[in-house]
Structure 1
Amino acid sequence: MKEKKGVRRDRLLLIGDELYTIFLILTYLESCGHEVASARSSDNTLELMQMITPDLILFCDDGIPLTDSLTFLKQVRRMPQTSSTPVILISSRDQTLEQAKSLDKTIDAYMVKPFELEDLREQVRTMIQRTASPV
């Protein structure tokens, strides 16, 4: 990825097992000017997070049991490098109970598939701005 001198692009980490979804989101967010790394949830994702220190994590949990997703996200929160990194959970689950469980301080936003890519771009922008702004 080419980067203009003096201009830092937001580093996003996209995690998931559904390759088509990952490719679609990665391609779109890169076209919006973000630097995007991706990892399969079964890979050494936690180690990757230590190396790149993302500004935002997007976690696609399709095909992953909810309990496994929440366990993984709790591990992310325990890491010093990512303890306050915003997390967007992208899921095809659309049940209130699961949504409430997911929002148990492990994620900052929840998007249900299908969604508009523009909505994702706006959610990413909001999370990045919220992190960059002192509260």
Structure 2
Amino acid sequence: MKETSAGNHRRLLLIDDDPNLILLVKDYLEFRGYDVITAENGREALEVLEQETPDMIICDVMMPEMDGYSLVSAIRQDPKTSWVPVLFLSAKGQSQDRVKGLNIGADVYMVKPFEPEELVAQVESSLKQASRLIQHKDSKGGDSSPKIQVPFDVDLTPTELRVVHFVARGMANREIAEELKVSQRTIESHVSNMLGKTGLHNRTELARWAIENGMA
């Protein structure tokens, strides 16, 4: 039976050019309740990040097209993703490799091969730390992000309102489809339509807008 308590529908971006490692890590993390999207290299990962912002990024260091160092540098320079926790997975385990990875902007540096349970523990620890930082920032006031701005005349259909309610609860498209007893493609279409109406860039912004406006 699939475990769901640990991930609580958190979305992770897993980047590695080794398809076998991708399959193994993806299966293990999904078993622990995480929603995992994948990319084969840094350039493909940047294309994914243009569409949505994950809760955490797990990234190989040595990859074709764009390596992990270049990717994390780009992530840290973009205000939309600068806050996202990053975990490096690398076969390079020398002290100078770890130092370089952490200095580039990774939050955690793990060496391959690794124990899956340790990977999950590091992921959970990083997500908890990110949540504490966000809560601390919000509690101080005046330093929080401005409200999401959308056109004042946005008109969502009743179905779209139901879908955005589930999006704001952190549910993946697959789970929303199961809840509403429709296909995942139908949910993806509704989300795409809402992004078009609101001018927002991804599900994270859509969820934040829904919460700020009392839709969830």
Same-fold call, TM cutoff 0.5: yes
Query: Greater CA deviation, 35-44 or 21-30?
Result: 35-44
- Within a 5 Å distance, the mapping from 1:33-72 to structure 2 comes to 33-41=33-41, 43-63=43-63, 68-72=67-71
1:23 corresponds in structure 2 to 23
- Within a 5 Å distance, the mapping from 1:92-107 to structure 2 comes to 92-107=91-106
| Structure 1 stretches of 4+ moved >2 Å | 61-64
Q: Normalising to structure 2: TM-score of the pair?
A: 0.55
Q: 2 CA distance for matches of 1:11 and 1:108? A: 17
| Larger helix fraction of residues | 2
1:32 CA displacement? 0.3
Q: 2 CA distance for matches of 1:68 and 1:35? A: 24
1:106 CA displacement? 1.2
Q: Which runs of 5+ in 2 are unaligned?
A: 137-216
Q: 1 CA distance for matches of 2:58 and 2:24? A: 13
Contact 2:69–2:104 (CA under 8 A) maintained in structure 1: no
The higher-RCO structure (CA 8 Å, 6+ apart) is: 1
Contact 2:61–2:69 (CA under 8 A) maintained in structure 1: no
The alignment status of 1:12 with 2:12, answered yes or no, reads yes
2:123 corresponds in structure 1 to 124
Q: Which has the larger radius of gyration?
A: 2
- Per-residue CA deviations over 1:14-72 (Å, capped at 9, x if unaligned) read 011011111110110000000000011055321211212100000022455xx932122
1:105 CA displacement? 4.5
| Larger strand fraction of residues | 1
Query: Greater CA deviation, 32-41 or 74-83?
Result: 74-83
- Per-residue CA deviations over 1:108-127 (Å, capped at 9, x if unaligned) read 00000111100001001001
**SS of alignment partner, residue 83 of structure 1:** coil
Count of equivalent residues: 128
Q: Normalising to structure 1: TM-score of the pair?
A: 0.86
